[in-house]
C-alpha cells in the first residue's frame, strides 16, 4: 500500500533510501551554556535514522541568530565537535542527515543578545512573545541591517556551513521559512527596505540568493537545499502577493541548481499559524525542476497520492517522528502510530522524557489488522 514511500530518491549527491523524510524539529535539548549537542541528542537521531533523509533541528549559525532556549548552534568549535557523534550515529544506522541552518532575525529576544536589539530586514516588531530562559517575554523591535552587516551575516552562514562539513553532515538546508530572517527579507510585510534588498520580489530574494551562493561555495549545489513556507502569515510575517514572491524565490533555487526544495504547507491547525490561502506548490513545482519535498499534516495515503500525481517527490513528517522513532517501518507494515504524550510540554522540556523514551515497534501485535 505504501510501497511508493519506500522507493529511493536521489537528491543531488545525496541518495535517500526512502521518501519518508524527517522534518526539522526544535527540541531544546542541547547542553548549556554554549548550545552544544550532546550524547542524548545522538541517541535521538540514531533512533530515527530510518528516515530517507533526516533534516536536523534548526541550528543557530551565530549568537546573533539564535533565540530559542537550549537549541543547538554550529558557530563554535565545541558545537562542531558535539555534532560529530550525532552524524556518526545516523551514518552507523545507514541514514543520511543534513543540517538546517537558522538565523531567527527579529524573533531573537534581546535577553539572548546581552540586551541589544535583534536584527532584521527592516525595523519591525513581531507580534506575540518569545520563549526565553526566564519564560515568555514580548518581542522587541528589531533594527534594520545595513548593507555591510548583510555581507557579514552572509559570511556567518558561510562559516557555519564550513563547520557543518567538519561535523560530518551529508549536506545542509537553509531555513528560509516560518518568519525567520530569510523569510523576513522575502515577504513585504517585514521587508520595508528601499534599497537593492527591498521593493520588487526579485530584490527581496537578493539576500536568499547571496546566502545560498555562499553555501554552494562551501558544499556544492548538489548538497544544499532550502526550506520555504509560501502560504499565509507565520509569526507575523506575511506577503501581499505570494505567487510573485515565492515564484521569484523558486527561480533563485532553480538558477543555483540546488539539491532539493522543501515546502511547508500547513493546514488550518498548523503549528506556526493556520492558512486558508491557496497552495503555492503547483506554481513552485513548475519553476523548480529538482526534487520537491512537501510537509505538514500528511497521512501516508495522502503522501503516496501526491507523489504518484507528481505533486512532489517526497514528504517530510515532524510530530509523527517524535513519538514514532521507527516511522518508516510502521508505514511499511501498516502499523498503528503512537500518539505524542504530554504535548506540547515534552517537545521542549529538558531531559529524556518525551524525547528518547518512545518505544520502537517490536512485535506483530501492534500491526493494524488487514
Element (H, E) at 8: none
**Crossing angle of helices 147-166 and 206-219, rounded to 10°:** 30
Out of 44, 157, 180, 355, the active site residue is 180
Q: Is 139 a catalytic residue?
A: no
* Residue 29 CB neighbours (<10 A): 21
Q: What is the CA radius of gyration of the chain?
A: 19
CA distance 26 to 102: 11
* Residue 196 CB neighbours (<10 A): 13
Strands 14-16 and 9-11: antiparallel
Q: Is the dihedral of CA 132, 136, 140, 142 positive or negative?
A: positive
Cell of 8: 529511493
| Phi, psi torsion values for 301, nearest 5 degrees | -65, -40
Element (H, E) at 249: helix 242-256
Catalytic site residues?
180
Amino acid at each position: 500500500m505504501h510501497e511508493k514511500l519506500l522507493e529511493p530518491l536521489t537528491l543531488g549527491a545525496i541518495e535517500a533510501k526512502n521518501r519518508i523524510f524527517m522534518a526539522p524539529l526544535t527540541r531544546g535539548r542541547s547542553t548549556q551554556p554554549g548550545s552544544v549537542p550532546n550524547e542524548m541528542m545522538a541517541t535521538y537521531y540514531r533512533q530515527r535514522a530510518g528516515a530517507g533523509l533526516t533534516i536536523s533541528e534548526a541550528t543557530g549559525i551565530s549568537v546573533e541568530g539564535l533565540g530559542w532556549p537550549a537549541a543547538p548552534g554550529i558557530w563554535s568549535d565545541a558545537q562542531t565537535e558535539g555534532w560529530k557523534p550525532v552524524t556518526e550515529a545516523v551514518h552507523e544506522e545507514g541514514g543520511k542527515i543534513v543540517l538546517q541552518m537558522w538565523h531567527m532575525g527579529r524573533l531573537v529576544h534581546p535577553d539572548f543578545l546581552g540586551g541589544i536589539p535583534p536584527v532584521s530586514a527592516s525595523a519591525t516588531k513581531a507580534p506575540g512573545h518569545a520563549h526565553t530562559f526566564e519564560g515568555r517575554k514580548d518581542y522587541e523591535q528589531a533594527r534594520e541591517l545595513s548593507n555591510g552587516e548583510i555581507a557579514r551575516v552572509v559570511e556567518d552562514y558561510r562559516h557555519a556551513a564550513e563547520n557543518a562539513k567538519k561535523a560530518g553532515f551529508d549536506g545542509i538546508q537553509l531555513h528560509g521559512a516560518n518568519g525567520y530572517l530569510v523569510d523576513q527579507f522575502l515577504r513585504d510585510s517585514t521587508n520595508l527596505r528601499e534599497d537593492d534588498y527591498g521593493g520588487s520580489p526579485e530584490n527581496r530574494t537578493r539576500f536568499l540568493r547571496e546566502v545560498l551562493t555562499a553555501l554552494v561555495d562551501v558544499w556544492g549545489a548538489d548538497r544544499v537545499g532550502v526550506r520555504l513556507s509560501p502560504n499565509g502569515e507565520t509569526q507575523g510575517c506575511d506577503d501581499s502577493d505570494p505567487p510573485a514572491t515565492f515564484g521569484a524565490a523558486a527561480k533563485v533555487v532553480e538558477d543555483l541548481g540546488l539539491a532539493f526544495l522543501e515546502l511547508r504547507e500547513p493546514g488550518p491547525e498548523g503549528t506556526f499559524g493556520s492558512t486558508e490561502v491557496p497552495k503555492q506548490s503547483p506554481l513552485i513545482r513548475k519553476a523548480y525542476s529538482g526534487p520537491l519535498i512537501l510537509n505538514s499534516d500528511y497521512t501516508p495515503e495522502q503522501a503516496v497520492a501526491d507523489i504518484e500525481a507528481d505533486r512532489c517527490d517526497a514528504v517530510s513528517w515532524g510530530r509523527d517522528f517524535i513519538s514514532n522513532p521507527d516511522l518508516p517501518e510502521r508505514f511499511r507494515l501498516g502499523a498503528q502510530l503512537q500518539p505524542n504524550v504530554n504535548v506540547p510540554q515534552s517537545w521542549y522540556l529538558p531531559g529524556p522524557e518525551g524525547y528518547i523514551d518512545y518505544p520502537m515497534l517490536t512485535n506483530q501485535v501492534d500491526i493494524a489488522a488487514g
